[in-house]
Structure 1
Amino acid sequence: MKIFVARLQGTPVFDPAGDQIGRIRDVVVGLRLGHRPNVHGFVVEVQPRRRVFLPITRVRRIEAGAVIFTGRINMRRFEQRTTETLAIGEILDLTVRFDDQPMTVYDVAMEETRPSTWEITSVALYKGRRREPRIVDWGEVSGFDTLQKDQGAAGLIAAFESLRAADMASALHDLPSKRRIEIARALNDTRLADVLEELPPDDQIGILGTLEPERAADVLEEMGPDDAADLLHDLPEEQASELLALMEPGEAAPVRRLLTYPEDSAGGVMTSEPVILPPSATVAEALAHIRQQDLTPSVAAQVYVSRPPTETPTGTYLGVSHFQRLLREPPSTQLGTVLDPSIDPIRPQFTLLQVAYYLANYNLVAAPVVDELGRLVGAVTVDDVLDHMLPEDWRERADYRDE
């Protein structure tokens, strides 16, 4: 039975007891001159965002939507050896030769040739812009050992298409730098912005630095103002000023405001685009707003009510209404009558520790931030606080699971 490796991306992995321990992120193979590549095993992502190695000899069964293994899995972080190749991350999109013509690798297939022994036996190829793959035997193709300056990215992007932004960021981080930049540059602005928000600062800076300034500014416009401000904080002042000047004035304005606050303050980590409505809006309107798919759960957890204008900085801030309260009220009820009187807003100058105490004390996932004029200027969410209070390299540390 042939199994195409790109289709394994994201497949759940289950232990002998039937508990899911992670998902497949890549297939580790060993290229051999004159022979089919051996499959060494799988790269499995376990929570929270650690990649470990599952030897193919421990895989008991591969079926639709599941990989079941036997024995125990070593939780040490996966480190690729120099003799190993990642089938999804490094082979897809290679330009190879078949029948003396250049073609592009769309996918590769693995088969169990002997008990517990798997090999890459077939290659799916396409030529030009037509994506109608032709499946041929591995031995009929040459060029897998050739170093390529520009490998392309379409196949890998297709394999990553169903991943959440955080998972795609994790996958990109573990790719070689050259490959990571190729994939990032090939993403559209919106997808790249979502992925950049989840990458460590060094990766963000490295990718942004390879883009034309105009494109980099477009990507910053697609990011949340707080994430864009964090990234600009990490750039050299001259580069940050250039990118801000290239952004649309309306998109740059909230970012400029956020940059005026210290990075370790409520103002420095808040989002300037929470859900804000006037007191005359109804519960039905509020619920329609928080249903928006692009809102994170913490941002959608509550609706802030203020006098017009309802863009930050708003008119006079009136209060907050939590989504649980909204679910209990008749749809026609006006928001001004269902505010929580027990929640006082915080100031932009609050330190992150003060914000953390505030959220913990009131059991909240977000807090309104109000300036000295009584205007709502943003909201701090618990995920933003955690992101800034954890060690700077928390996304890439191998040992944080056990700390």
Structure 2
Amino acid sequence: MSTTRIFVARLAGCIVFDPAGDRVGKVRDVLVVYRKNDPPRVVGLLVEIPGKRRVFVSIGRVTSIASGQIITTGLINVRRFEQRGGEVRVIAELLGRKVLFTDKPGEATIEDVAIEESAPGEWAVSQYFVRQPKASSSPFAKGATSFVTWREIREKPQGGEAQSAEQLIATYSDLKPADLANTLLDLPRDRMIEVAEELSDDRLADALEEMPEKDQVQILGQLDDDRAADVLDHMQPDDAADLIAQLPEERGEHLLELMEPEEAEDVRMLLSFAPDTAGGLMTTEPIILSADSTVAEALAMIRRADLAPALGAAVCITLPPYEPPTGRFLGMVHFQRMLRYPPHERLGSIMDQSLDPATPETSAAEVSRILASYDLVSVPVVDEKHRLVGVVTIDDVLDYLLPNDWRSHADDDGRARRTPAVRRNLRG
């Protein structure tokens, strides 16, 4: 029979369908087991189904892998995936692994793995796509590549050398922060730490914001202080404050000293408030504009791809300066209201002044009542001089109100998203 060669890295993110054509989920990895005298055998797929739950789909239930989609028999056990002894994840654990050639000197890095179907429902690793170290010091040079079989390579002893994570990170480049966080948490611990260390500061910050605090602390604990401070600089101030509050006080204070002064100042302010108040829940980075700004300028600000949806739902209008703590808070303009006016309309003429802002001491219960009563997604927070110091968004309130293990109840994946920490006062 003719065989079909499939490269595993290209399967990541492919849609899985049942026989009726209904979508089941997305492929996140391929699992193989090693054999003594034969190439590694594919045992199944790691599939993400709705609710971010990862489940195992036996390769025997896969009827077709072609054209970027997978067809299954439709019979899937939705129990949360747990990796068994002897199983190896190709994307998470093989890509980027250093190997030695068995028939010639030299080493290489695995960049992809090809699998082939030998019989209905039986798949095995057929080839590895590997890259040798570059022979030139030129930044544009690349190492030679080749296809090899499993007999032609053997794993290189680690000898204290960190396994490359570059190829794995490239595979995860298109994942959203929440998906990246879940993917990292599904990796074996050592591999998770290794990949986290290789991620860029902003990418790692985004992923940490979506993790439970115990996992945040574990990863941050593996970073040196300078790198940890850089990552904290890229996190939202409220998320950074929650994380620092979980660290030993001495290290938390040291990291605050290493952070950028403006970022550290925001975090220190948030740490000074009780977690069940508006001050403890707020973010200090709302969209702030002057009353003379136009609708066009405001819409341009909220279109930013890196802006959280809840923060982009409205802009705050204040007197100068326009960084918290601002000049006097004047009101808010919701994006739906902007859409009803021409681009040149001044925000000062259409802002909502009817909403009484919260203060940092306003209770979380009162903030949630305000959000519910007025159908809002954010509430401004002002100090005793009526200066804007931040906004509380609906996602922050939900994180506070829901139980610590709400995600595990919703997804049955055994993990919970962060909830506000019991904060300490860290004085500079």
Q: TM-score range by the shorter chain?
A: over 0.9
Post-superposition offset of 1:387: 2.3
SS at structure 1 position matched to 2:323: coil
User: 1:328 and 1:270 mapped to 2: Cα distance?
Assistant: 29
Aligned to 1:331: 343
Post-superposition offset of 1:182: 0.6
Normalising by structure 1, we get a TM-score of: 0.94
Contact 2:99 2:153 survives alignment (8 Å): yes
Distance 1:283 1:179, change over 3 A: same
User: 2:307 and 2:27 mapped to 1: Cα distance?
Assistant: 27
Post-superposition offset of 1:393: 4.4
Post-superposition offset of 1:309: 1.0
Distance 1:62 1:356, change over 3 A: farther
Aligned to 1:399: 412
Post-superposition offset of 1:355: 2.3
RMSD after superposition: 1.8
Aligned to 1:184: 196
Aligned to 1:371: 383
Contact 2:6 2:114 survives alignment (8 Å): yes
Contact 1:394 1:400 survives alignment (8 Å): no
User: 1:205 and 1:132 mapped to 2: Cα distance?
Assistant: 40
Instruction: Please state if 1:112 is matched with 2:117.
Output: yes
Aligned to 1:92: 95
Which of 10, 35, 38 is the matching residue for 2:38?
35
Q: What does 1:260-279 align with in structure 2 at a 5 Å threshold? A: 260-279=272-291
SS at structure 2 position matched to 1:45: strand
SS at structure 1 position matched to 2:312: coil
User: 1:232 and 1:192 mapped to 2: Cα distance?
Assistant: 16
Aligned to 2:129: 124
Instruction: Please state if 1:235 is matched with 2:235.
Output: no
Aligned to 1:76: 79
SS at structure 2 position matched to 1:108: strand
Instruction: Please state if 1:246 is matched with 2:246.
Output: no
Instruction: Please state if 1:14 is matched with 2:17.
Output: yes
Contact 1:184 1:207 survives alignment (8 Å): yes
1:150-186, Cα deviation, whole Å (9 max, x unpaired): 2121111111111111111111001111111110111
Distance 1:365 1:60, change over 3 A: farther
1:246-288, Cα deviation, whole Å (9 max, x unpaired): 1121221111111111123221121100101011111111011
* Unpaired segments ≥5 residues, structure 2: 135-141, 415-428
SS at structure 2 position matched to 1:234: coil
Contact 2:53 2:413 survives alignment (8 Å): no
Post-superposition offset of 1:148: 6.5
Contact 1:37 1:119 survives alignment (8 Å): yes
Aligned to 1:143: 155
Q: Which has the higher contact order (CA 8 A, sep 6+)?
A: 2
Instruction: Please state if 1:220 is matched with 2:235.
Output: no
User: 2:67 and 2:310 mapped to 1: Cα distance?
Assistant: 34
Aligned to 1:175: 187
Letter in 2 for 1:26: D
Instruction: Please state if 1:66 is matched with 2:62.
Output: no
Contact 1:298 1:382 survives alignment (8 Å): yes
User: 2:413 and 2:217 mapped to 1: Cα distance?
Assistant: 23
SS at structure 2 position matched to 1:142: strand
Q: What does 1:352-391 align with in structure 2 at a 5 Å threshold? A: 352-391=364-403
